[in-house]
Structure 1
Amino acid sequence: MRRRLAALSLVALALTGCGKKSAGQKLYGPNCGICHHGGHGMPGEVPPLVGRLDLIAQTAEGRDYLAHVMLYGLDGKILANGQKYNFSMPGFGRLSDAQLALILNWLIARGHHDAGSNGGDTPAPVMTPEIFARARQTPMGSNHVHALREGLSAKGQIP
């Protein structure tokens, strides 16, 4: 009986597509997952992403900031969910605008539907390739990206 239930569960997973990795998740693993793990980070070492990026991406300013982080990296002391980090993240400008959008949209969707987020009935914010294309037009160092973060943080837009 158990074997039959297990087999039926596997068939159900195969038919519904659950268990398949999305394109964003596949790109996340080798590019971001090395440090951020499953998106939950490591306390005191690497900040969490899940449950935060969807909140940052709610405004055009926040989406612009996230695009700059992905393209140019981020260096310096930051506060994330009340935890202090002295963080250094490389830029991923070698990835295409579409690939960067896939990664962030996967993370945003995960956090948006998480019980700790304010997801609910509202659609998750969306990062488009055009946001990254615009951000590429204003190249900046990771320290300038940090200054963007500080500005958003002062406005209460960075959890």
Structure 2
Amino acid sequence: MNKLIFAFAIVIIGLNSCKPKSSNPENTLASISDTKVLQYAIEGKALYEANCANCHQKNGTGLGKLIPPIFQSDYFLEDVPRTAKIIKHGQKGEIIVNGVAYNQEMPANSKLTNIEIAHIMTYLYNIWGNEMGVIDATMVEDYLKN
């Protein structure tokens, strides 16, 4: 009987390990192995959840056709400096994200410092399969100048 239970447990474990990944993104830090990136990302996650997740959601999927996604977003991934500018200064006007038009104004986060923006960006650009590395305050300062 014990052999039957053991065999059944092995089959169940095997089947669960072969499950396809969920289409619901998880904003996990578990895949980040670089210590400095992880330090920035931990701070960034808290800042993202406090300042951005209300609209873009914790998992980055946005709000239907009202608020664009960040998760798997072509708009987000194609221009890193633009992300810093949008976080700091907000954005008005229509944008196209993954082929969908969005025209909801994003308010500025002018109170966020360059290091806080760097933390948020490091977090977002190093989860969901992205591996951008550290985006530091000096980089954000340069992005905001141009």
- In the superposition, the TM-score normalised over structure 1's length comes to 0.58
DSSP 3-state at the match of 1:79: strand
Residue ranges of structure 2 left out of the alignment (5+ in a row): 1-28, 31-40
Please say if 1:43 is aligned against 2:60. Answer: no
DSSP 3-state at the match of 1:110: coil
Matched residues, percent identical? 25
Q: What is the RMSD of the two structures over their aligned residues, measured on CA atoms? A: 2.4
Residues 55-112 of structure 1, C-alpha deviation per residue, up to 9 Å, x if partnerless?
32xxxxx22211111111111111111112112111112111111111111111123x
DSSP 3-state at the match of 2:101: strand
Structure label with greater radius of gyration: 2
Q: Residue 50 of structure 2 aligns to which amino acid in structure 1?
A: P
- The change in CA–CA distance for 1:54 and 1:124 in structure 2 (over 3 A counts) is farther
Match of 1:103 among 97, 120, 129: 120
Q: Residue 81 of structure 1 aligns to which amino acid in structure 2?
A: N
More strand by share: 1
- The change in CA–CA distance for 1:54 and 1:83 in structure 2 (over 3 A counts) is closer
Where do residues 48-127 of structure 1 align in structure 2 (5 Å cutoff)?
A: 48-52=69-73, 55-56=77-78, 62-111=79-128, 113=129, 119=130, 123-124=131-132, 126-127=134-135
Please say if 1:34 is aligned against 2:54. Answer: yes
CA–CA distance in structure 1, aligned partners of residues 111 and 140 of structure 2: 12
Q: Residue 131 of structure 1 aligns to which amino acid in structure 2?
A: M
Conservation of the 8 A alpha-carbon contact between 2:76 and 2:83: no
CA–CA distance in structure 1, aligned partners of residues 110 and 69 of structure 2: 21
Aligned residues: 106
Match of 1:131 among 117, 125, 139: 139
Deviation (angstroms), 1:125: 5.1
Residue ranges of structure 1 left out of the alignment (5+ in a row): 1-16, 57-61, 114-118, 139-159
Residues 113-143 of structure 1, C-alpha deviation per residue, up to 9 Å, x if partnerless?
1xxxxx5xxx4254221122224446xxxxx
Structure 1 segments, 4+ long, off by >4 Å, are: none
Deviation (angstroms), 1:23: 1.3
DSSP 3-state at the match of 2:102: strand
